[in-house]
Amino acid sequence: MLPDRPWKKNLNRVPPNILEKVKNLRRDDCVVACVVRVRSDELRQGKYAHLGVTLSDELTLEFPSSTLPSSSDGRYSKKNILGYEKVYDEEPKVSKSWSIDSPNFGDWSKGSHDIVFERDVYRREDFPPRLLPILISDMGTDVRRASHLLRFSVDGVLDRRSPSFEDDLLFSLNLLQENVGNHDVFESGTTTDEYLKTLMVSWEILPPGERDQNIERILSGVKTRDPSVRARLLDRYALLTRLMPVAFVKGVSGFHRYFGAQLADDLVLFENIEYGNAMYIMFEEWQALSRLSRTELLSSRTHEFVRIPHTKHWKDRVRAEVRRRRITPR
């Protein structure tokens, strides 16, 4: 039975933002790694105990520099330890024959002969264990927020010129995702400061009265040319305008692009431009919360924000929540 962890376990394919980031790397060598902010109480509750990360009663962070995830930690952890067989069931079957030695007339004393069998089967390939450890580094302590910054990385450098690069990348991303609940890719030799920047969202404040200019600035850098993205942005911009914001905000964290509206110092609404399926309403700690990954946010900070999925009456729910927050501030 797999351990119960509050994050998505596996990726079916390399995420588009990771492929985009790989394409824009300045060098071919890269590593799969991530930096996470983990609260002291989460460490005491054993969030990463399966990797050997613990917090002592004296608040001393203890962890191994390298650990091999157990085969019970997930599907890719098991493949990493034991290897696996891949069945190519999307390809046409191929003919396979084999033989067994059989006694003549059922009596081995009279000699033997081969009996040949043949049938159509899917092609199969055996992959040996990779035995990739996860490396762990302490990136610092945030005393004010009672949290620790940890870097987790899959040991080994990937070469994007390699024919097996995308398969190797997906494997390493999944190994990190199912054990840490996060994933990313960096150039080999990335500095500590550059790793820490991935925890930040760089916000640009836009004046509320410049609709057309704001739309273009919000869309700048968005790769897709899908007209539905612009139409969706215009619709949500109109909704936010009616809520009388003091400013619009545009934020970038890696290749994730966010936009929203600041209604007060402690009331901000935002969502992901390209991949968003919900509006997030945040309060006093909105700048800190916006630095968390979606997985981290949904797994541990649900009392500090309101998430409103884009279902049939989502706009009514947003307006009602904003009215309630304005009448009864936190």
The rounded mean pLDDT for the chain is 83
pLDDT, one tens digit per residue, over 49-86 is 999 999 887 678 899 999 999 999 999 999 999 998 88
Amino acid (1-letter code) at residue 48: Y
Please give the Cα distance from 240 to 215 (Å, whole number). Answer: 13
Choice between 321 and 291, residue whose per-residue pLDDT is larger:
321
Report pLDDT for 30: 94
Q: What b-and-e string marks burial along 66-98, b requiring 16 or more CB atoms within 10 Å of the CB?
A: ebbbeeebbebbbbbbeeeeeeeeeeeeeeeee
Q: What is the pLDDT of residue 2?
A: 46
Phi-psi domain of 131 (left: phi exceeds 0; alpha: psi -120 through 50; beta: other): left
Instruction: Note the pLDDT tens digit of each residue in 301-312.
Output: 667 788 898 888
Q: What is the pLDDT of residues 155-212, one digit of tens each?
A: 999 999 999 999 999 999 999 999 998 888 999 988 888 887 766 565 677 888 788 8
Asked if the model's pLDDT at residue 330 lies above 60, the reply is no
Percent of the chain predicted with pLDDT > 70: 85
DSSP sequence for 16-64: HHHHHHHHT-SSSEEEEEEEEEEEHHHHHTTTTGGGT-EE-TT--EE--
User: Could you give the residue ranges of the DSSP H alpha helices within the chain?
Assistant: 16-23, 40-44, 75-82, 165-180, 192-197, 211-219, 227-242, 286-289, 294-300, 314-327
Q: Locate all alpha helices (DSSP H) within 45-184, ordered by sequence.
A: 75-82, 165-180
Which has the minimum average pLDDT: 164-168, 171-175, 252-256, 317-321? Answer: 252-256
pLDDT of residue 125: 81
Q: What is the pLDDT of residues 195-208, one digit of tens each?
A: 877 665 656 778 88
Q: Which stretch of 89-103, 266-280, 309-323 has the lowest confidence by average pLDDT?
A: 266-280
Between 300 and 103, where is the model more confident? 103
Q: Please write the tens of the pLDDT for every residue from 280-293.
A: 888 866 766 776 66
